[in-house]
Chain A
Amino acid sequence: MPVEAPSAEKLLDMYARMWRIRLFEEQAEYQSSQGKVMGALHTYIGEEGVAVPICAHLQDTDYITSTHRGHGHCIAKGADISRMMAELFGRSTGYCKGKGGSMHIADFKVGMLGANGIVAGGFGLATGAGLAAQLRGSGQVAVCFFGDGAANRGPFHENINIGAVWKLPVVYVCENNQFAQWTPQKDVTLVTDIANMSPAYGIPGVQVDGMDPLAVYEAAGEAIERARRGEGPTLLECKTYRFHGHNFGDPQQYRTREEIAEWSDNRDPIKQLAAHMRDAGLLSDEQDADIQNTVQEEITAAVRFAESSPYPTPDELYKDVYSYDIG
């Protein structure tokens, strides 16, 4: 069954979400430069065209797992940016009461099972989410976002095999941005097209241009429908590129300015979606400006919320270690 093209309304929503990720993270980097956001900060800027169109197929009852580069997944799945910002600021109003920080934001209410500081930490969680959905017969699906680097860890193999043999409703999405921290993928992996690993697990492998949100939308739609029909997992590879460093402050000696510009000037997924919507008469200049202004206001409000929120009090230290209080 061909995937229906996204409605005008859906496209506008996707477009706004992509801006929300971009502007949220630009703000987070600024706040980091001011010393207000501390700890590691890995941005998704440039990769918005992956998570947003994929999550556009999901309901709050569906699950995703994420990575150390998790803000984009959170926003795409519908997390509240004020609580995200408060988490980055280490405040008690943050998603994790300030206990997690950038690498550990989760919102279980919208099925976001957590950013993860351990590369490949999400494979088991997504596979287990798929098992729970299958056992309940609920029609829910789980999407596992992971990097090209994560494909070199054991959990990739173990969990995709389990998901495949049990026909679990999981889509394994490789965000192949061609680098793992400072290491180019080709230096550490001969099969650089991760989708080509799918025959080893007996499941479909699909490769798509991750900078083209509509192509991702279509490919993800098929994979998610297949999972919902009970036909098992798909390995969906999105070729993409992060425009900023591995983390904020990365000197980026492993790639050239020209290479970065090549991607950010010519293949920016936000620009590509805008161009498509303009061509289709679905985005006027006013609407575009409106969307960006509204998102900018949300971000400003998020920072105000974070800054005016209290830090966790010392008694929080021993809470949440177990379901019961220790002390």
Chain B
Amino acid sequence: MPKKSMRDALREALHEEMERDDSIIVLGEDVIAHGGPYAVTRGIDEKFPGRIRQTPISEAGIVGTALGAALCGMRPVAEVMYVDFATCAMDEVVNQMAKVRYMFGGQTDVPVVLRLPSGSARLLAAQHSQCLEAWFLHVPGLQVVVPSTAYDAKGLLKTALRGKDPVLFMEYKRLYTNESEVPDEDYAIPFGQADVKREGRDVTIVATGPMVPKALEAADLLAPEGIDVEVVDTRTLVPFDKAAVFASVEKTNRVIVTDEEVKRGGTSAEIASLIAEECFDALDAPVKRLAAAEVPMPFSPELEKLVVPKTEHLVAATRELVG
């Protein structure tokens, strides 16, 4: 099977779905020039002229327009250059997009996909490095997707582009160049299906996005010590595959939940509390959480490197949990 980067896999998903469905349109800042800062939309203008719009710097306008078009028969994919700037369109996302189906008694589909480059990369500091999954998973009506591999990214974006509800698609900047095997044939990955990325008996690591490769590395490092780690990649946070997480916890009886978000009020808090509430009897030890420090992202490389959990932290936490 050919190996592809997450960037290429996302681009393929967009091109293939645009080929299949002419209601799909793309909008965002600099999306034609260079295909956006992360080059995901490169080539669309040549192949699908008129179906990609390079917008002004108007995040509220971009998201609002995408929503309006979605209510009237289009299927917009809006790129917000950094998830940090989605905060400039919070009304459109939270009060409008998330609410229209319910508030209007189910009269309309809301097929909008927001592509949101996320996380720290290249020392961009406090206003360009955030992970805001938890903000959105708090809002009923929104779906939140966080792929960790090129394969998952393509399959999940296809499902997003075929669905009827808003999707906040978190693309971790540091994962764009990560490669995995991606078939040329069409496939889609349904929402609400976590993926066991590695099977193990002793400890479960429930990881999202960029923590998944680190969890797999930790598992490799721990294997020679006789610690057998299972890695569950949540893939989508809303809808959430509780069954897969609980099944793993019931097998290993020990669990670490990890993501790159600020720990307080983050996704790991939600997952840990679900396990505590509904899976308590399976636990031989308290749930552990590993997430980012409760600070805005500092610029200096000497501080930035302290913020987000690393493989070595997962290794240490796992040892503690089984020890």
Contacts and interface: CB of A to CB of B under 8 A. Distances in A.
A60 interface: no
Contacts of B57: 119-120, 149-150, 152-153, 180, 188
Chain B's interface size range is 20 to 34
Chain A's interface size range is 35 or more
Interface stretch (A43-51, A95-103, A222-230): A95-103
Contacts of B294: 321, 326
Contact of B123 (A87, A101, A154): A101
B49 to A, nearest CB: 15
Interface string B81-97: 00011001000000000
Nearest to A120: B57
Interface string B19-41: 00000000001100110000000
Nearest to A187: B54
Interface string A154-187: 1000000000000000000000000011110001
Interface string B289-307: 0000111101111110011
A95 to B, nearest CB: 11
A101 B295 contact: no
A96 to B, nearest CB: 8
Interface in B217-245: none
B128 A188 contact: no
Contacts of B59: 153
Interface string A283-314: 00000000000000000000000000001101
B177 to A, nearest CB: 16
Contacts of B30: 181-183
Contacts of B56: 149, 152, 180, 183, 188-189
Given A117-B127, A183-B33, A314-B306, A99 B58 contact: no
Interface string B153-187: 00000000000000000000000000000000000
A239 interface: no
A132 interface: no
Given A99-B296, A182-B34, A318-B293, 20 more contacts: A39-B122, A40-B128, A87-B299, A98-B303, A99-B125, A103-B128, A104-B125, A118-B127, A119-B57, A152-B56, A153-B57, A154-B88, A180-B56, A180-B57, A182-B33, A253-B34, A311-B300, A314-B303, A317-B307, A321-B295
